[in-house]
Amino acid sequence: MSRPEAPSLFGAAAVRLGYVSEDQVQQTLAAQASARSRNAQPGPIGALLMERGLLTPGQITSVLRHLAGGTLPLSEDGIRLAARLKVLHAAAGNVIGITGTLAEDASRTTCEIATGLAVMEQGDVLAIDANLRAPSLHERLGTPLSPGLLERIALGDAAPQPVQTKVAALNAVAAGVAGEDFLSLCMSPEAARLIESYRASYRYVLVNLGDLRRHPEAAVLASRCDGIVVVLHAGLSQKSELLDIQRLLAGLDVGLSGVVLARPATRQERQRA
């Protein structure tokens, strides 16, 4: 049986927290390496441990929070979807848009999934804030608002590179600040080339679109994605809103990668934020 090529940060953290034994992690890593040697597409170590009944979704969330230093929001729903994206999008580079009936839900879920993918050792991950009218992803990831996506499109090759976040393997591109028309910038050939360059450089590119029903530039960027995750808000979102998004995606010829139900933040979470 093939041996794992490198130690697993996720596995080591799960052992430190007492959820699994070192032997269980090594056996799972060996099975993962063996599958890769057969050109199979094994899931990340966290998902494999869950499939073997060794970790619960709640324990996976705790491990990821531990690896992220407890500073970034992670939910069990976000972790489940992050673990499945490798199956849903098996190509080498994927651009996945996140939209919600509430823009803040889309921002939070983008952060959760991007962080989950990065700490689950899924390769280099990029989070982009394309909610250009009300950006917030930079605040969640602790990065500057500018320079960002708008400057990257406007300046082309002269623009600065994505910013490294506090989580290893996770980079970010904030929304940025620019005086030009958002729609014109997003429809430009430079924007298309930029997205394709990110696709070639990162295993996953997560794009926070906000509510793509409300702003045409978000719909333009959604058309360049390989799939869309829709975030509904418990107790607020209506079935008709999901149907509206599905019709819009059908018109853009972009598939639906998943639906997440966001719950209202607890008092403890609001105080921590």
What is the predicted pLDDT for the residue at 128? Answer: 96
DSSP 96: E
- Between strands 170-173 and 125-129, the pairing is parallel
DSSP 123-168: S-EEEEE--TTS--HHHHHT--SSS-HHHHHHHGGGSPPPEE-SST
Does 180 fall in a domain?
yes
Spatial neighbors of 95 by CB under 8 A, at least 6 apart, are 195, 198, 199, 205, 207, 224, 225, 226
Q: What is the pLDDT along the chain (273 residues), one digit of tens a residue?
A: 333 444 567 888 889 888 999 999 999 989 888 888 887 767 778 878 888 899 887 788 778 777 766 555 566 666 677 777 766 776 667 899 999 999 999 999 998 888 878 876 667 899 999 999 999 999 988 899 988 999 889 887 667 789 988 777 899 999 998 766 888 999 999 999 999 999 999 989 999 999 999 999 999 999 999 999 999 998 888 889 999 999 999 999 999 988 888 876 554 444 434
Do 130 and 233 lie in a common domain? yes
Backbone dihedral region of 242: left (phi > 0), alpha (psi from -120 to 50 degrees) or beta?
alpha
Do 18 and 96 lie in a common domain? no
Total domains in the fold of the chain: 2
The residue range of the domain holding 149 is 76-272
Do 50 and 113 lie in a common domain? no
Do 21 and 149 lie in a common domain? no
What is the predicted pLDDT for the residue at 221? Answer: 95
Task: Kindly state the tokens that stand for 178.
Answer: 């620019």
Does 66 fall in a domain?
no
What is the predicted pLDDT for the residue at 101? Answer: 92
